[in-house]
Amino acid sequence: DSLPRAMVPSPKTLLLGENEPSLKFEFGEQSIIGSMVEAASDVLYRRGLRDESSETVDLRKYQSLTLAVIRYEAPDGRFAPHVDHCNDSYVYLASLGCTANFMVKGPGMAEKRAFKFRSGDLLVFNASTRAALLHGVMSIDVASCPPGLSEAAPDLREHRYGVQCRMHV
């Protein structure tokens, strides 16, 4: 703890459960994570939003979920743009705390799209190599956590937590 603080602090993956970076849940296992993913999948289906590249995938029926959480400091927390290479998986990414300046670019997009990924927002995407979705966190907005949430969880005043649920289909 006597070391100087990094100029650009890197995101930190939290350890969960038995000091592991992720928790695993099987389909049908009762959990808040499963409930969140199932509710989000139901909304996607009701609105007719489906992965057009994979007509056979039903996001309401999966094999398992893995949960991981990454903590970003405001304002310099970032995660370099990258493409996931997790075939047969989809990511449900929830944002808690400060607002992330997020970017995405798919193969069919002429330009990248940057947007504010606010606390409570959920992003769902195909994480396969075939989908080739470039995505990343460019920065974190200072003092952007909703007031009621920052009062209940003071650490969120200066941080953003990316809660990632990877669905294995």
**CA distance linking residue 123 with residue 117, whole number of Å:** 9
Whether cis (ω within 30° of 0) applies to the bond prior to 75 is yes
What local confidence, expressed as pLDDT, does residue 50 receive?
Answer: 76
Across 38-158, the runs of DSSP E, i.e. the strands, are: 64-73, 79-83, 89-97, 100-105, 113-117, 122-126, 134-140
Query: What mean pLDDT comes out for the span 105-119?
Result: 97
Question: In this structure, are strands 113-117 and 23-26 parallel, antiparallel, or unpaired?
Answer: unpaired
- What percent of the chain has pLDDT above 90? 75
What local confidence, expressed as pLDDT, does residue 51 receive?
Answer: 75
Confidence of residue 53 (pLDDT cuts 50, 70, 90): low
What local confidence, expressed as pLDDT, does residue 60 receive?
Answer: 84
